[in-house]
């Protein structure tokens, strides 16, 4: 049953303007990639690293956290119009499964955006004429890590988007969380525990490159996993009790 709800969610999304949002990701990637000044880096460092670091700086710090909110708003848009929640929930579906379906579809979309971002890195590198070997393993680690880090943010934004009809209100919550991340990721005390900073910390090539992710497991499980559990359960409980 879950699968058919996901299908119907996808069906509702397909003809909406969601494609503009999805294409915004690689657009930001290309923009920052082509603006990176790789000529300045003439040391031993692989030029792909340099271009990728420049790209993740803007993408993972601002774009990725902000776009989760826009996607979540889109996925609840049909239901907020003309009694859509009533129609959807009068079908023989449980609220828990509807919530799961929306969440799974959102995570699928974020993953797709991550893949397009990877493609934009490759394109930017080709245009810039980077000759070095492509560090596939490290870049995958970053793409995948960034995706993991958006789990709590997507859960919170789905919750907020279910509460409010307007796009602007959940977006405000998102902005309040995201802007401080610019400062937080520079701090050794706050950076590791700030959920909105994690997409950057998990995407930025730095830290321990021999582990599975760029940040320690305790941080992945404790901060990303912990905040995900709180936001996901909060959203689920809210939705189960929501008056439609």
Burial degree of 120 (CB within 10 A; 0-12, 13-18, 19+): buried
239 binds other proteins (CB under 8 A): no
Calpha distance 60→82 (Å, rounded): 36
Contact by Cβ (8 Å): 148, 160:
no
Site string for other proteins, 74-93 (x = CB under 8 A): x--x----------------
User: Of 179, 193, 225, 238, which lies in the binding site for other proteins, with binding defined by CB under 8 A?
Assistant: 179
Write down the residue that tokens 């789990």 correspond to.
151
Contact by Cβ (8 Å): 232, 153:
no
Could you tell me how many residues of this chain bind other proteins (CB under 8 A)?
35
38 binds other proteins (CB under 8 A): no
Distances (CA, A) of 123 to 32, 39, 44, 117: 12, 17, 22, 10
CB of 191 to other proteins, least distance (A): 12
Please list every residue from 42 through 71 that binds other proteins, using CB under 8 A: 58, 62-63, 66-67, 69-70
Calpha distance 153→195 (Å, rounded): 8
Contact by Cβ (8 Å): 31, 127:
no
User: Of 168, 211, 221, 229, which lies in the binding site for other proteins, with binding defined by CB under 8 A?
Assistant: 168
CB of 131 to other proteins, least distance (A): 24
Calpha distance 106→162 (Å, rounded): 14
32 binds other proteins (CB under 8 A): yes
Contact by Cβ (8 Å): 239, 95:
yes
Q: Give 2 or 38: the residue with its C-beta nearer to other proteins.
A: 38
Q: Which two tokens stand for residue 148?
A: 């993991």
Q: Give 34 or 89: the residue with its C-beta nearer to other proteins.
A: 34
122 binds other proteins (CB under 8 A): no
Please list every residue from 204 through 233 that binds other proteins, using CB under 8 A: none
Residues contributing to the site for other proteins (CB under 8 A): 16-17, 20-21, 24, 27-28, 31-32, 35, 58, 62-63, 66-67, 69-70, 73-74, 77, 165-169, 171-172, 175-176, 179-180, 182-183, 187, 189
């Amino acid at each position: 049953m879950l699968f058919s709800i996901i299908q119907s969610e996808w069906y509702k999304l397909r003809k909406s303007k969601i494609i503009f949002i999805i294409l915004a990701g690689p657009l930001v990637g290309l923009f920052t990639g082509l603006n990176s000044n790789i000529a300045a880096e003439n040391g031993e460092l692989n030029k792909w690293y340099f271009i990728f670091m420049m790209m993740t700086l803007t993408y993972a710090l601002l774009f990725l956290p902000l776009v989760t909110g826009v996607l979540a708003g889109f996925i609840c848009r049909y239901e907020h119009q003309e009694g859509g929640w009533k129609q959807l929930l009068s079908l023989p579906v449980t609220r828990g499964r509807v919530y799961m379906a929306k969440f799974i579809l959102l995570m699928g979309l974020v993953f797709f955006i991550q893949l397009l971002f990877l493609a934009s890195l490759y394109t930017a590198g080709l245009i810039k004429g980077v000759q070095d070997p492509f560090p596939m393993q490290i870049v995958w680690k970053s793409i995948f890590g960034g995706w993991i880090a958006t789990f709590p943010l997507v859960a919170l934004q789905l919750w907020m988007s279910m509460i409010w009809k307007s796009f602007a209100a959940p977006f405000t919550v998102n902005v309040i969380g995201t802007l401080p991340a610019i400062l937080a990721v520079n701090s050794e005390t706050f950076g590791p525990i700030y959920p909105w900073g994690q997409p950057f910390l998990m995407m930025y090539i730095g830290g321990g490159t021999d582990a599975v992710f760029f940040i320690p497991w305790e941080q992945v499980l404790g901060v990303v996993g912990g905040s995900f559990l709180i936001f996901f359960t909060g959203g689920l409980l809210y939705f189960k009790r929501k008056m439609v």
